[in-house]
Structure 1
């Protein structure tokens, strides 16, 4: 009984449940997602405008986390739906329990060797606090995204942006990337 209470407490504190705040009503954001930029894992600047017309699943990642095996499922999701317009984009972060201590080169090597990652990986960023990266300021602040305020609870929290650049869903870190919760929102619409 005590063990169950501890597990429940841990899950609520660190957002390990798979409940999502989804789908959010489509709201045109005050600031365009497509106006944002980030450096990729090699240091090259990437405009989020290159993702126009795609659904984008933004995920903060880490190499030494209990959720790190999600890389494999994120890669499978990317391979399965990239041809129909999904872009998975990883943002490594060392903000939680120092679970991403390596350099961008270390992270790139880890992702390639351990998980054969082919989806875009950005350079390491801060996803909370005063030095929060502008992409995460947009994802987490209603004043920017127009939809909701949220906190990044832990590594592997997922944010879904639709083809028009609107935030439409937030998935807790423990949500399986191949869950029906996610698939149902990224699956290409069936035309009659």
Structure 2
């Protein structure tokens, strides 16, 4: 399979979500173009530690500097299947919602929208302000998908890792690349 997916990591809490997305995409033989914002790097180190941050980078086929606006993924001619931003900070959400392509992460997200490719944002904040809700509405109106990282409690996960893996699988499933990877509601 020659499929590529952009994985953006912003500075919001929830770095484990990015790592689980990267692990799942790697198991599916899907190449990851990784974009870590400056604060995304900081949060990964804080929440995951050096070993897990190194693993995240190792799982990527390409690592892009968040300030490199000349990177291939900044162009619609770059053949990717879509993008996941995990986690997505409210700052990144606001920039994407308003078309402010001022970083590689927000530019790559804007490219997905303009090319009508899937864009999945694991928006991390609570509680939400009206500005957050309006930005989520704007992205949704542009065909982006807002996926708050809410655990599927009905699956009775044993631990935090099971919760983040399920959320990551839902995000990957929303790209519609293959058969569903997330555990389904048992009914």
- Fold shared per TM-score above 0.5: no
Structure with the higher helix share, 1 or 2: 2
Q: TM-score, normalised by structure 1?
A: 0.39
